[in-house]
Amino acid sequence: MTQVSNEALKQLATVSTATLTSLLYKKGFRNIFLQGVKPLKSGQRLVGPAFTLRYIPSREDLDGIEVFRDQRHPQRVAVEEIPAGAVLVMDCRGDASVGSAGSILATRIQVRGAAGIVSDGGLRDAQGIAELDMPSYCAGASAPTNLIKHHALDVNVPIGCGGVPIFPGDIMVGDDDGVVCLPAHLVNEVALEALEMERFESFVLEEVRRGVSILGLYPPVDPQTLERYSNWKANQ
């Protein structure tokens, strides 16, 4: 398995999820953007490998409030074992009628150095989580305890989240649009391409702002576009 480089992670922190979905689409991937998963706060960036937690529907005799007394409860294990830099990704089957974590667990995750939280369920005490210096993404604020709907089962197995397959170690990248999941083996290559694509789009945006038509410019079908871009890059 290709090792994801730190360089690539740094590069990904500067590129948009829109750029990444376009690059992955060119490579044949149509389903890497988590549907229905939104940032709790705007203006933040998320990058890090997925560390997953799988829930199945809860059952009344298995999911009383007392389960949290068990130190091997998978949700507790996930919170205490997530590596620094990783992103906790929770599979709630898209059910946001309850929270999948609250501000105490989120704070613990942040203190442990995690990069962020992603859930296709709800988050409770959402305002408290939003105020942490760590980005969180979910399907909406939702006060009820997760036990009402979710039985925590497995840590760090492949899951679905927001309709997207997530394998442990895949790289989660988030911005204000939402979150994409990059298959680990593509990350180093994609990060470089994304940097270049963002650079070109910066040039395009400048051109557009000064009144240039997008025809021939975006994509750069017109040879003069590439020439102007070449000059623009030289002047950066």
* Ranges within 82-101 binding a copy of itself (CB under 8 A): 93-94, 97-99
Neighbour count for residue 77 (Cβ, 10 Å): 17
Q: Is 124 left (phi over 0), alpha (psi -120 to 50) or beta?
A: beta
The CA distance from 36 to 118, in Å, is 11
Query: Of 168-197, which residues contact a copy of itself (CB under 8 A)?
Result: 175-178, 180, 183
| Amino acid, single-letter form, for residue 202 | S
Binding mask 38-57 for a copy of itself (x = CB under 8 A): x---xx------------xx
Residue of 61, 84, 234, 235 that binds a copy of itself (CB under 8 A): 61
Residue of 5, 143, 230, 231 that binds a copy of itself (CB under 8 A): 143
Residue of 125, 138, 172, 184 that binds a copy of itself (CB under 8 A): 125
Residue of 8, 79, 88, 117 that binds a copy of itself (CB under 8 A): 79
Sole residue written with tokens 């005799």? 61
The CA distance from 57 to 232, in Å, is 55
CB of 215 to a copy of itself, least distance (A): 5
Neighbour count for residue 167 (Cβ, 10 Å): 15
